[in-house]
Chains A and B, each alone.
Chain A
Amino acid sequence: DQQVKQNSPSLSVQEGRISILNCDYTNSMFDYFLWYKKYPAEGPTFLISISSIKDKNEDGRFTVFLNKSAKHLSLHIVPSQPGDSAVYFCALGAQKLVFGQGTRLTINP
């Protein structure tokens, strides 16, 4: 029973363009919605979050959108930079975090 799904295993974007990563969930119990970035051989690093009472949160080049009626979360990165190449996980929180499967983002120069 996959509660959190990231349907795109990989995404390739040209440097300077917008990267959009998506995440769908099935359970409405989650209070917090987060995005993590992961490089090989390292633990996930917190990127940005949004609480269930908001629909948008911005932090520099990163914006997270939450559509609770559609149970959909997205992360926008603009402009995309080569250093953004990594695996991105959405994670939904109540007592603990439940993670999606991840999307490998590659930014091409």
Chain B
Amino acid sequence: DTGVSQDPRHKITKRGQNVTFRCDPISEHNRLYWYRQTLGQGPEFLTYFQNEAQLEKSRLLSDRFSAERPKGSFSTLEIQRTEQGDSAMYLCASRPGTGSFYGYTFGSGTRLTVV
């Protein structure tokens, strides 16, 4: 297991199109997180899962955003009707479900550009 994997690395889309990103966490990690990072800012929390249950969603996650984690393994983040303001780096992270944040590991991210 080589860590958290995200696909694609880069996505350019036209405004109004739908996009979907995939995250494969470290296999023994049952918690999975999505963050968004814009230029000059730190990562901002979007949502997280414990196994297949989505336990928390940020108010940043408008109704155009949806995230799933079927069977508690990989996760997908879909953005419908993309807007230019959605342009950002989308980061996925995973960690073991108990204990400290030791082992909280990020993927390399998906860079989304909406034109």
- Complex Cα distance, B95 from A32, in Å, reads 14
Interface-forming stretch among A13-21, A61-69, A70-78, A95-103? Answer: A95-103
Residues in A whose Cβ lies below 8 Å from that of B48: 95-96
Least distance between B42 CB and chain A CB atoms (Å):
3
Tell me if A93 is interfacial: C-beta within 8 Å of chain B: yes
| Known A44-B91, A95-B56: A89·B104 in contact at CB below 8 Å | no
Say whether B56 contacts A96, CB under 8 Å: yes
Residues in B whose Cβ lies below 8 Å from that of A96: 33, 45, 48, 56
Least distance between B54 CB and chain A CB atoms (Å):
13
Say whether A89 contacts B43, CB under 8 Å: yes
Which residue of chain B lies nearest to A104 when distances are taken between CB atoms in the complex?
B40
| Known A96-B56, A98-B45: A43·B101 in contact at CB below 8 Å | no
Count of chain B residues with Cβ under 8 Å from any Cβ of A?
24
Chosen A-B contacts, 29 in total, with CB atoms closer than 8 Å, are: A6-B42, A32-B100, A34-B101, A34-B104, A36-B106, A42-B108, A43-B106, A43-B107, A43-B108, A44-B91, A46-B104, A49-B100, A49-B101, A51-B100, A91-B42, A93-B100, A93-B101, A93-B104, A96-B33, A96-B56, A97-B43, A97-B93, A97-B104, A99-B42, A99-B44, A101-B42, A102-B40, A102-B41, A102-B42
Further pairs besides A41-B109, A43-B93, A99-B42: 12, Cβ < 8 Å:
A4-B42, A32-B100, A34-B101, A41-B108, A42-B108, A43-B4, A44-B106, A49-B101, A51-B100, A93-B104, A99-B43, A101-B42
Give A contacts to B, CB under 8 Å: 4, 6, 9, 31-32, 34, 36, 41-46, 49, 51, 89, 91, 93, 95-102
